[in-house]
Amino acid sequence: MNKSIYILEFKLFFRNSATWMGIILLILMGFAGLYFGKTFIEKQEQVITKAASLQKQQTRQNIAHFGNDIGLFFYHNKFSLANTPDAWAAFANGQRDVNPYLISVTMLGLEGQLYDTDLSNPLSLLLGKMDLSFVFIFLFPLVIIAFSYNLLSEQKESGIWPLLKAQTDKTFTIIWRKILVRLMVIFALAFLLMFVAAIYLKLPFDGTFAALMVLILLYLAFWFAVAFVVISLHKSSNFNASALIAIWVLLCIVVPASLNLLLTKKYPIPEALQNVINQREGYHEKWDMAKSVTMAPFFKHYPQLKKYPFPEEKTFSWYWYYGMQQMGDDAALGSRVLIEKKLASRQNFTETVALFIPSIQLQLGVNELAGTDLDSHLNFQQAVRKYHETIRLHFYPAIFTDDELKNTDIENYKLEKYVPKDVPVIWINLLSITTLTVILAWVGYFLLRKRI
């Protein structure tokens, strides 16, 4: 009996042309998101492959041009580290369009090179990438609204409601059944898209997949809970539609956009500009100073290099030059730490407000799992710092002793790939959306029970 009622409800639901329009919209946009998300990431992968061969070629050319002068060679030669995209990056492009995914640096001062951006079209950055996460965050809620806003009000407006009420005392169950049918259809669509994504993007069915799936389903359930509360107010269809769209506009546009402005106002980062100035002055001023001003702090920084004799009498030596470059980085250390602190406060602020705004929460969680958020980029920057330091310490002795380039192992150097180690945990994201959903569902249940 019960089963057949559900079948009838499904039939009723699918008889509506709006249902099909919603389903087709989500599938089409989902596929478009997958396609554009994948092409974007594929292009980055191609560039990384190309960069690997280019680096070899350029190193060979530099050896031909500057091979006689080891200091000059390392002045020109670049070493690259690539932030290779995770399979999930195609699902959520995140900040990968804004932040560089390939950083090529010479052995000179790092702070002057680390923040160089890729070439990008700022209008494309502004309008945003089209990927599957966009469809889940923005479009699914809209279809949920379209499916459920007139659930109860339509019955009333068409005059069916009094009839129903007269025939059964289980009116709540009827509403509940209708919501459940819509929930199942939406969840099925989400599963379908995720399944296609898994095949198309070659996503492994692992813990990350499970965590993301749960996060997305919870987010969709949250929107059903919102719709449920509005429905339970017993207002007209037009009121429900307007109210739900208004809530969507608030949660997906106005509130995050306002918070964003607040964030920029609360935590401005003038230190970034100060950092450039510190690095530039810290290095350039040394040209006009006694060599000891450079070399004393340099040897303090690297006591192990003291054993290589410094040519004090020469007007210019690469030894001094690289020492001065190091001073630029050392001068920028303070501002660099300040930037890191500011960014950490920004992250804290965002995580706190996200506890109350599921749309932000989902965006943060998805980007984090896909390794496309700001934190991943900062970790990548740290990896570049480490790599740069290793290269410096490896080649400094050869430069400082004016060794022949061919005695070094420079030919073995190739493009390196950065692979993040730890898998992020998103328990907080899951928990906050669950809590909000449960509270709303309970409110809706209470309101509906009271008024039925």
Partner 1 sequence: MSNIITTIAKQTFKTAFSNKATLALLILLGVSLCLATYVGWQNYKSQQNQRLHYKALVRAQWLAKPDKHPHRMAHYGYLAFREKHELSFFDFGIESFAGVSIFLEAHKQNTVNFSEASFANGMLRFGEISVAMVLQLLVPLLIFFLGYNSISAERESGTLKILLCQNVSWKQLLWGKTLGIISVCLSIFLPLILLTILLWASLSNWEINPDSSLRLLMLILCYSVYFFIVSAITVLVSAYHQSSKAALTTLLACWIFFMVIMPRITQAIGDKIHPSPSKIEFADAIAADISRQGDSHNPDDVHYASIKDSLLKAYKVNDVKKLPFNYGGYIMAEGEKISSKIYSNHQRQLNATFEKQNRLTVLSGFLNPYLSLKNVSMALTASDFKTFVDFQNQAETYRYGLAQKMNKLQIDKISNIAPGETAKPLAISRSNWAQQPDFNYRFSHLGTVLKSELLALASLLCWLTLVIIMIQCTARWVKTIPNQN
The interface with partner 1 within residues 364-403 (CB under 8 A) comprises 364, 367, 373-375
Least gap, CB of 284 to partner 1 (angstroms): 5
Residue 305 C-beta: closest distance to partner 1, Å: 22
- Our CB check for partner 1 shows the closer of 231 and 441 to be 231
Tell me whether residue 78 or residue 392 sits nearer to partner 1 (CB atom): 78
Among 130, 247, 333, 355, binds partner 1 (CB under 8 A): 130
Helix axes 237-249, 140-148, angle to 10 degrees: 170
Site for partner 1 in 233-272 (CB under 8 A): 237-239, 241-242, 245-246, 249, 252-254, 256-265, 268-270, 272
Rounded CA-CA distance 259/257 in Å is 5
Task: Measure the CA angle with vertex 7, ends 6 and 10; round to 5°.
Answer: 85
Going by C-alpha positions, the residue among 15, 5, 18 that lies closest to residue 174 is 5
43 is an interface residue for partner 1 by CB under 8 A: yes
- Lookup result for tokens 């339970």: 232
Least spacing, CB of residue 429 vs partner 1, in Å: 12
Size of the site for partner 1 (CB under 8 A): 95
Q: Which of residues 410-429 bind partner 1 (CB under 8 A)?
A: none
Smallest distance, Å, CB 449 to partner 1? 26
Number of H helices, E strands in the chain: 19, 3
- 355 near partner 1 (CB under 8 A): no
Q: Is 273 in the site for partner 1 (CB under 8 A)?
A: yes
- Sheet of 416-418, strand order: 102-105, 79-83, 416-418
The minimum distance between CB 219 and partner 1, in angstroms, equals 14
Which of residues 39 and 173 has its CB atom nearest to partner 1 in the complex? 39
CB of 90 to partner 1, least distance (A): 14
Cβ count within 10 A of residue 11: 10
For partner 1, the closer CB: 60 or 449: 60
Residues 261 and 266: their CA atoms lie apart, in Å, by 8
- Angstrom CA distances, 149 to 231, 234, 245, 267, 439, stand at 6, 11, 10, 40, 19
| 186 near partner 1 (CB under 8 A) | no
Cα diameter, the chain: 105
For partner 1, the closer of residues 94 and 441 by Cβ is: 94
Kindly tell me which residue out of 13, 31, 36, 200 binds partner 1, with binding defined by CB under 8 A: 36
379 vs 283, 375, 418, CA distance in Å? 26, 6, 10
119 near partner 1 (CB under 8 A): yes
Task: Output DSSP code: residue 313.
Answer: T
Rule CB under 8 A: choose which of 184, 201, 233, 276 binds partner 1.
276
360 binds partner 1 (CB under 8 A): yes
- Kindly tell me which of 111 and 330 has the beta carbon lying closer to partner 1: 111
| Inter-CA distances, 69 with 48, 59, 348, 403, 406, Å | 29, 14, 49, 9, 11
Q: Which is nearer to partner 1, 363 or 441 (CB)?
A: 363
For residue 144, state whether it binds partner 1 (rule: CB under 8 A): no
| Between 121 and 168, CB nearer to partner 1 | 121
* First and final C-alpha spacing in the chain: 24
Paired tokens of 188 = 């099925």
Query: What is the rounded distance in angstroms from the CA atom of residue 130 to the CA atom of residue 293?
Result: 53
The two structure tokens encoding residue 369: 């799992």
The rounded distance, in Å, linking the Cα atoms of 269 and 182 is 46
Shortest distance, position 3 Cβ to partner 1, whole Å: 32
Tell me the residue length of the chain.
452
Q: Which of residues 282-321 bind partner 1 (CB under 8 A)?
A: 284, 287-288, 313-316
Binding positions for partner 1, 89-108, rule CB under 8 A:
94-95, 98-100, 102, 104
